[in-house]
Chains A and B, each alone.
Chain A
């Protein structure tokens, strides 16, 4: 019976940023900061550089931004894919899915509408 009494205090998973065991440490935050600073400078460098083929720059910027967001999630939020983190990680995955739908869906629909819309000059010609 004592097993079940203690069972009530055992959490089912834990909140982001906390744990029964300590997860944050000075070293972890420092590592995260270093990664984030390097990635930030890399982003600002990539936007200015001529070393990268022009149309490739946005792809590079996107990769750097996603990497930096990943660094923040892992080193500052302490979210992992471990069994205790299932709820947090699933919520994150759903959030990322909705964000992707909203952003890319809007851009796709609007560019499609834009492409099929008549230009002003053509409209003026028809009115004559």
Chain B
């Protein structure tokens, strides 16, 4: 094709096929973009819980407040578990790209273990607080706290089950395009949970809005 290049838009190299003639996007792009939109809508849902927490965080109804209940060393440990699991999840994505099943299983196992450790720490923290009389029914502050942090914990739990299901699919189906797409969506989900956790530890545990 020796057509004179009269219209090259920004982002198109000279002589490249123009955007308008490229046809529909590949299924990988569509699935990934759709899941990205879902994640953003999930973050919007979390923002409503964050707003509720921010409004209610001072309404302790004479009960214990955050400074009395939260142990920052413990939260740092939880944060490190989740952060490292996000990293190993990235390494799992690289192993999937290489189509290496042993490396995928290895990093999935490490991700699962770190995620489960995070969840265990969180549940033990919740039980300790409830044992000290700081249950969700005690005050508006505690209701908001358990809703926000509990919803995040629920997401982590779902993520762990999802990871197990994906490993079963890799074992039975192998690296089919559809399995790889689902694995990609899982890694995005797991990274998104870490972003939400950054908001949680800043606003809830470190009192970023005080």
Q: A58-B209, A87-B33 are in contact. Are A18 and B28 (CB under 8 A)?
A: yes
List residues of chain B with CB within 8 A of the CB of A99: 43-44, 47
B89: nearest residue on chain A (CB-CB)? A76
A:17-72 near B, CB below 8 Å: 17-18, 22, 24-26, 29-30, 32-33, 36-37, 40-41, 43-44, 46-48, 57-58, 61-62, 64-65, 68-69, 72
* A44 contacts B72, C-beta separation under 8 Å: yes
Task: Return the chain A residue nearest B31 by Cβ.
Answer: A15
B173 CB to closest chain A CB, in angstroms? 19
Indicate if the CB atoms of B87 and A88 lie closer than 8 Å: no
Q: For the side of the interface on A, what is the size category?
A: 35 or more
| Bound CA–CA A83/B11 (angstroms) | 5
Q: Is the CB of A29 within 8 A of B90?
A: yes
Binding site secondary structure of chain B: helix
Interchain nearest-CB distance for B96 vs A (Å)? 10
A4-B21, A10-B22, A43-B206 known; A91+B40 contact, CB < 8 A: yes
The answer to whether B29 has its CB under 8 Å from any CB of chain A is yes
Q: What range describes how many residues of B lie at the interface?
A: 35 or more
Identity of the chain A residue whose Cβ is nearest the Cβ of B199 in the assembled complex: A65
Q: How far is the CA of A92 from the CA of B33 in the complex (A)?
A: 11
Q: Are A64 and B202 in contact (CB under 8 A)?
A: yes
The answer to whether B40 and A94 have CB atoms under 8 Å apart is yes
Task: Flag if B191 contacts A15 (CB, 8 Å).
Answer: no
List of A residues within 8 angstroms of B198 by Cβ: 65, 68-69, 72
Contacts A26-B91, A43-B202, A77-B188; is A15 near B86 (CB within 8 Å)?
no
Counting from the closest, the 7 A-B pairs by CB-CB distance are A15-B32, A83-B11, A95-B40, A106-B51, A47-B206, A29-B90, A65-B202
Q: Which residues of B are in contact with A by a Cβ distance under 8 Å?
A: 1, 10-12, 17, 19, 21-26, 28-33, 35-37, 40-41, 43-44, 47-48, 50-52, 54-55, 72, 76, 79-80, 83-84, 86-87, 90-91, 93-94, 97, 184, 187-188, 191, 194-195, 198-199, 201-203, 206-210
